[in-house]
């Protein structure tokens, strides 16, 4: 019985260590910035202060105006003022999308 108990403890400890490794990796991924030009509405909604309506307005803005040139251009979207822009600036980035127009 003690061999099974030792094996169980070893397995649980190994599982814990693996979860720590992948948990840290996921944490780093969560810290990466969201590209406004390639983000989906669902991804935008994951940002603090962005709900479904505002995410849709951002998507509509991209459809009408093309890719964002810089983060400051978010201020052109109805519902995003200076405070919200300041809150979002560390969570988003702007890179050209790979879509051909």
Q: Is the pTM for the entire model greater than 0.85?
A: no
Nearest CA-CA partner of 42 in 32, 29, 51: 51
Does 88 share its domain with 52?
yes
Q: What is the pLDDT of residues 9-45, one digit of tens each?
A: 665 656 555 555 554 433 334 458 999 999 999 999 9
Does 72 share its domain with 88?
yes
Per the domain annotation, does 26 fall within a domain? yes
Q: Strand pairing partners for 92?
A: 34
Ordered DSSP codes for 9-55: HHHHHHHHHHHHHHHHHHHHHHHSPEETTT--HHHHHTSTT--HHHH
The first and second tokens of residue 72, run together, are 């400051």
Does 57 share its domain with 25?
no
| Other residues' Cβ atoms within 10 Å of the Cβ of residue 71 | 17
Does 28 share its domain with 2?
yes
Give me the mean pLDDT over the 68-94 stretch: 96
Does 28 share its domain with 44?
no
CATH of the domain at 63: 1.10.150.320
Domain that holds residue 50: 34-93
């Amino acid at each position: 019985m003690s061999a099974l108990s030792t094996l169980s403890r070893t397995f649980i400890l190994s599982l814990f260590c693996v979860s720590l490794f992948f948990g840290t990796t996921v944490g780093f991924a969560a810290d990466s910035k969201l590209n406004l030009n390639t983000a989906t509405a669902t991804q935008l909604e994951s940002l603090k202060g962005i709900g479904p309506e505002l995410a849709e307005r951002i998507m509509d803005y991209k459809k009408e105006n093309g890719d964002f040139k810089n983060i400051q251009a978010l201020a052109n979207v109805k519902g995003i003022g200076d405070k919200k822009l300041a809150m979002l600036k560390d969570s988003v980035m702007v890179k050209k999308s790979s879509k051909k127009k």
